[in-house]
Amino acid sequence: MTGPFQGGLPAERLHLRKVRFAVELQDAVTLLRVSEGVKVVAQGLKGKPVVNHAGLFVWLDSNVGDLQSLTVNPNLLPFESATLMGSDLKDPLTTIELSPKVSYPFTFGITGLRGRLIESRIYSHDPIPVQNAALHLQWLDSDDVWQEAPTVSHTDENGEFALILRLAPNQVPKLDVKDCVDCVTVRLSATRDQGIPRSSDDLKILQGYVADPSTFGGSPKALIFAWDELQP
């Protein structure tokens, strides 16, 4: 199965030739395979990958020991690019989840939020965006313990981002049935330049929806986070 986005790469049946290295790309939101419309480059391996009938990117007749890094360019698809070094790649199969960009077409049933990260709310002209910060959600479970969402996203050139909360079947969030029925308590965790993570104040978002400024009455300040307000 492949994702809903279209492109074009040649298909290659896995059993026709010996596969030396393979990559599986997954949509981090739906967990469907993405095999079209993206460019995958393995630095150190000879030739371009082909896509087999299962939707995997495969390299044939290559020396895996020469593999230095792997880059995924989503082109026009609403995913972030990804780069993995050789030490992060698994032989013979590496699975990479592609994080959503702000432009991702979220559907009902997905929990998350779209927002923006700026340096400070105190500015004379336009706010300065925080670029390329690594972000993910923390969420409060039914035992009042904070958990880490596995999907990491990054701010773009405008400081904008999209975050999702994907729960495993055995994970149960603590729901706020008093003030906001079916709301889960989350907070933003942000890291820059591999430094110490910082967290936002608690925020309640409705399960099954991706929160944006319209969720909070269309306030232009809704879901704008300031780096100097985040706490270590």
- C-alpha torsion sign, points 169, 145, 196, 228: positive
**Between 56 and 20, residue with greater pLDDT:** 56
Question: Phi and psi (nearest 5°) for 205?
Answer: -125, 150
Spatial separation of the C-alpha atoms in residues 31 and 3, rounded to whole Å: 9
DSSP 33: B
Instruction: Over range 209-228, report the average pLDDT.
Output: 80
Two structure tokens written together for 144: 């009042």
CATH for 111-229 is: 2.60.40.1120
Spatial separation of the C-alpha atoms in residues 42 and 208, rounded to whole Å: 37
Tell me the average pLDDT of the chain. Answer: 88
Going from N- to C-terminal start, the domains of the chain cover 11-98, 111-229
Neighbour tally for 58: CB within 10 Å: 22
Q: Report whether 190 contacts 83 (CB < 8 A).
A: no
- Fold agreement (11-98, 111-229): yes
Under the banding of pLDDT at 50, 70 and 90, the label for residue 18 is: low
Helix, strand, or coil here: 227? helix
Inform me whether the pLDDT recorded for 221 exceeds 70: no
Please give the pLDDT value at position 5: 44
Integer angstrom CA distances of residue 48 from 43, 107, 175: 10, 34, 48
Q: Residue with structure tokens 């929806």?
A: 209
Please give the pLDDT value at position 90: 85
Give the contacts of 111 (CB within 8 A, at least 6 positions apart).
164, 165, 166, 167, 184, 205, 206, 207, 208, 209, 210
Of the chain, the percentage scoring pLDDT greater than 90 comes to: 69
**Between 166 and 13, residue with greater pLDDT:** 166
Inform me whether the pLDDT recorded for 132 exceeds 90: yes
Inform me whether the pLDDT recorded for 209 exceeds 80: yes
Two structure tokens written together for 196: 């110490």
Please give the pLDDT value at position 177: 76
Which listed CATH number (3.40.1160.10, 2.60.40.1120, 1.10.4190.10, 3.40.640.10) goes with 11-98?
2.60.40.1120
DSSP 221: T
Please give the pLDDT value at position 145: 97
Spatial separation of the C-alpha atoms in residues 147 and 126, rounded to whole Å: 35
pTM higher than 0.75: yes
Neighbour tally for 142: CB within 10 Å: 10
Helix, strand, or coil here: 216? helix
Please give the pLDDT value at position 16: 41
- The CA radius of gyration of the chain, in Å to the nearest whole number, is 20
